[in-house]
Structure 1
Amino acid sequence: MGRTDPVNRSTNHPPLARDELPDDTAALARYLIGKLVVRDLPDGRVSGRIVETEAYVAGDAAGHGFRGMTERNRSLFLERGHAYVYLAYGISFMLNVSSEAQGIGTGVLIRALEPLEGIAIMRLNRGVERPRDLARGPGRLAAALRIDRSLDGLDLCREGPLWLAHDEFGAGAIGQGIRIGISKDADRLLRFYLKESPFVSGPASLNR
């Protein structure tokens, strides 16, 4: 079981260095399992361990960069390690990490977190009590951490309002399967998840 400590600690979380990040999108999606997303808010710090990601690779019909750069997706075309935040279906924000060289337009969707710090803040942001439900799914995750388009393009390899960080946690067994909620290139095995984590989203049949 994961940690559910509600104490809002002030732990130092050094950002991931850009040269540590694999420059292959699928490899980055796997690498990020077990790393941290850290968000500093006016009312405190919130953080969570990444337990589920999806890769959107070059030539991927399901990827937002498939048809080229637009004003909306330009952050996806930055060098690896930048935030690409978009609003899905006019309802939920989604946090992605740009994943290859500048101009390529590939990314990794952060699908789920295991909440670690600032759980009381996440509960207020989401209006739910159970830690398992705070950031299990990309829309819930963004709401729990108050991620919106104001963070689009942010360098996630630098400490600031939002960044990616190391953790001393050993990721353990990582599963791989099809991505969730897409219709194009839907059979590609580009979703990665921490096996046996209760914080992974999607049906149990996809998380074996």
Structure 2
Amino acid sequence: MPRRAKRVFGRLLSRGFFKGEASQVAPLLLNKIIATADGRVGRIVEVEAYEGARDEAAHSFRGVTPRTRVMFAEPGHLYVYFSYGMHWCSNIVCAPVGVGSAVLLRALEPIANLDAMRQARGPRIVDRDLCRGPGRLTQALGLTGADTGMDVLDATSPVGIYDDGVPPPPHNRGLPRIGISRARELPWRWIVPGNAFVSRGA
């Protein structure tokens, strides 16, 4: 994604926000805003945590590889990977350098420039399905593997994550993660309860 000036939607999150483990950061990311340089904006309504060496489902479980190197880098960077040879998925790196922890962005509630999202996803896609699921979300925002390593906390970056004052849901319990075969028992998925844009059956 090219670097351009982007619109601001509240306060850009700080590096410190992402320095906890993914299972701590993930529920706090709910109701935060992600915005791109061309005005595509969504509210984060579903996330999953993945935590390095203690999480067999994490890509970083077996350590640093060319693919996962960014997961062990400074928090606040994008990790975008290709899933099942079909679509890209977007994660935000968490925890101190060297840990290999990240939060998968699973669903957004679209807020602005839905026309650009439809252009990326397909003109007949209904609003509810524009960003529901990690592959759809990443496609709707126009992100690909070329964006891995992008610093979403840099004010000059083409993608940023903001706090517009809407708090995360209180007393929000974790749910089982989706689409994995290992460590499925960990309750490391969180949603905004009652939101129409979360995954089916969530």
Contact persistence 1:175–1:195 (CA under 8 A): no
Contact between 1:180 and 1:202, CA under 8 Å: does it hold in 2?
A: no
Paired residue type of 2:23 = A
Aligned counterparts of 2:41 and 2:197: Cα–Cα separation in 1 = 14
Matched, 1:140 2:116: no
Number of positions where the alignment pairs a residue of Structure 1 with one of Structure 2: 193
Kindly indicate whether the alpha-carbon contact (under 8 Å) linking 2:117 and 2:140 is maintained by their aligned counterparts in 1.
yes
Cα pair 1:175 1:194 within 8 Å, conserved: no
Matched, 1:106 2:98: no
Equivalent residues in 2 for 1:1-208, closer than 5 Å: 10-40=7-37, 44-58=38-52, 59-127=54-122, 128-159=124-155, 160-173=157-170, 174-203=172-201, 207=202
Q: Deviation at 1:143? A: 0.6
Q: Secondary structure at the match of 1:98?
A: strand
Contact 1:45 1:117 in 2 (8 A): yes
Using the size of structure 2 for normalisation, the TM-score is 0.90
Deviation at 1:11, TM superposition (A): 4.8
Please report how far the alpha carbon of residue 145 of structure 1 lies from its aligned counterpart in structure 2 after TM superposition.
Answer: 0.5
Cα shift at 1:150: 1.4
Structure 2 unaligned regions, length at least 5: 1-5
**Offset of 1:162 from its aligned partner?**
1.1
Q: Does the residue aligned with 1:163 lie in a helix, a strand or coil?
A: strand
What is the TM-score with the length of structure 1 in the denominator?
0.87
The residue identity in structure 1 corresponding to 2:106 is R
